[in-house]
Amino acid sequence: MDECRAPRNLYIPRSRWTLAIRLVSCRKDTHDLDSKGSVGSWIRETWPRAQAVLFLPEASDYIAPDGQTSLQLAEPQSTSPFVKGLQEAAREHSVAIHVGIHHREEGQDQSKRILNRALYITANGDINDATTYDKLHVFDYGSLKESATVQPGTSLTAPFDSPIGRIGSLVCFDLRFPEAGLALAQPGPHSAWKNKPAQIITYPSAFTLRTGAAHWETLLRARAIETQSYVIAAAQVGRHNEKRASWGQSIVADPWGNIVLKLKGVKEGEPQGTAEDGAEGEIGFVDIDLEHLEKVRMEMPLQRRIDVYPEL
């Protein structure tokens, strides 16, 4: 496989959200080393003593130049060297990790569609199926046909506890479907998690240049406002290969819809998707205040009329 650009990392300590984009080169035979080496080293050097959650973008294992290559590269998460490397790094540094990967079912033929998955790895290096989410909405736009290689997920994942609050996992194109975020953060009385709604909605992403320029920030702010949640979106940035480039601009929005952090993306007017100077490796810090979240929800309760429109 030609060299591709993979993880741009979102790093979140216990009391603060630290958003960082970092460029890591990956090849078919070396992407497993990036997770343990580059990411592990970065955690150690950036915040060596923090109890933290590390968020990586969608498709952190690879972004392939075409669908066939993507199918060839996908591995079961249980045997993936990339995932195993992250598990080792999590244990070594006592840091939980939320990461987007490609997953192939055990024993599945390479011609079969795979899953676009968000994993949560505990600080002990464990993966629990109950915190694993498969992207519901696949991205078909123009010449990009994710549905040709990715099987949509079949259910939401219940919000789960983390060192920074309860996380509701969604991925990239799910951002365009407000129902999913509302179901996680503003559940109705019949929801299995009605007493433990999500406080944080994640959208690890690899937005295209055109859709990123038009909709990225607007959609993230809208999801934060309507769910009254913190929204974090770790975004791939820059050119991956001849066919793919990503918009970047990793964003944190608060429950009132304020953009409290926006990092750099691609150069303005640059059709080739060249990253802005400093976008690769940029780190920003934002305080997260769950008391602020609860105050917003208390002062403006969203009483959904499920007597008129049914809940999800």
Give the angle subtended at the CA of 187 by the CAs of 186 and 190, to the nearest 5°: 160
pLDDT at residue number 12: 32
Classify residue 309: in a domain, yes or no: no
Classify residue 70: in a domain, yes or no: yes
pLDDT cut 70: percent of the chain above it: 81
Classify residue 305: in a domain, yes or no: no
Single out the residue of 177, 140, 139 nearest to residue 156, CA to CA: 177
Annotation marks residue 58 as catalytic:
yes
pLDDT at residue number 223: 99
| Structural domain boundaries enclosing 83 | 4-299
Confidence of residue 51 (pLDDT cuts 50, 70, 90): low
Single out the residue of 120, 102, 129 nearest to residue 55, CA to CA: 120
Annotation marks residue 28 as catalytic:
no
Residues sharing a CB contact under 8 Å with residue 69, sequence separation 6 or more, in sequence order: 1
pLDDT cut 90: percent of the chain above it: 57
Classify residue 306: in a domain, yes or no: no
Other beta carbons within 10 angstroms of residue 63's beta carbon come to 24
Annotated active-site residue in 4, 58, 262, 282: 58
Provide the sign of the torsion angle of the four alpha carbons 159, 96, 119, 292, taken in this order: positive
Over the chain, what HEC string results? CCCEECCCCEEEECCEEEEECCCCEECCCCHHHHHHHHHHHHHHHHCCCCCEEEECCCCCCCCCCCHHHHHHHCECCCCCHHHHHHHHHHHHHCEEEEEEEEECCCCCCCCCCEEEEEEEECCCCCECHHHCEECCCCCEECCEEHHHCECCCCCCCCCECCCCCCEEECCHHHHHCHHHHHHHHCCCCCCCCCCCCCCEEECCECCCHHHHHHHHHHHHHHHHHHHCCEEEECECEEECCCCCEEEECCEEECCCCCEEEECCEECCCCCCCCECCCCCCCEEEEECCHHHHHHHHHHCCCCCCCCCCCCC
Other beta carbons within 10 angstroms of residue 227's beta carbon come to 26
Confidence of residue 306 (pLDDT cuts 50, 70, 90): confident
Confidence of residue 271 (pLDDT cuts 50, 70, 90): confident
Give the mean model confidence (pLDDT) for residues 21-27. 31
More confident residue, 7 or 265: 265
Tell me which residue has tokens 């305080």: 287
Classify residue 308: in a domain, yes or no: no
pLDDT digits (tens, 9 = 90+) for 74-121: 999 999 999 999 999 889 888 888 899 999 999 998 899 999 999 999
Question: Strand 230-233 to strand 251-253: parallel, antiparallel, or no bridges (unpaired)?
Answer: antiparallel
For 16, the token pair is 């603060």
Annotation marks residue 135 as catalytic:
yes
pLDDT at residue number 226: 98
The Cα-based distances of 169 to 49, 216, 236, 310 in angstroms read 26, 18, 17, 22
Other beta carbons within 10 angstroms of residue 193's beta carbon come to 18
Classify residue 214: in a domain, yes or no: yes
Classify residue 26: in a domain, yes or no: yes
pLDDT at residue number 41: 58
CB 208 within 8 A of CB 141: yes
**Cβ neighbourhood burial of 290 (10 Å; 0-12, 13-18, 19+):** middle
Classify residue 132: in a domain, yes or no: yes
Annotated active-site residue in 135, 146, 264, 276: 135
Domain count for the chain:
1
Least confident range from 32-36, 224-228, 297-301: namely 32-36
* Maximum alpha-carbon separation in the chain: 55
What pTM was estimated for this model as a whole? 0.87
For 154, the token pair is 């079949």
CATH number of the domain encompassing residue 157: 3.60.110.10
- pLDDT score of 2 more than 80: no
Annotated active-site residue in 36, 172, 262, 276: 172
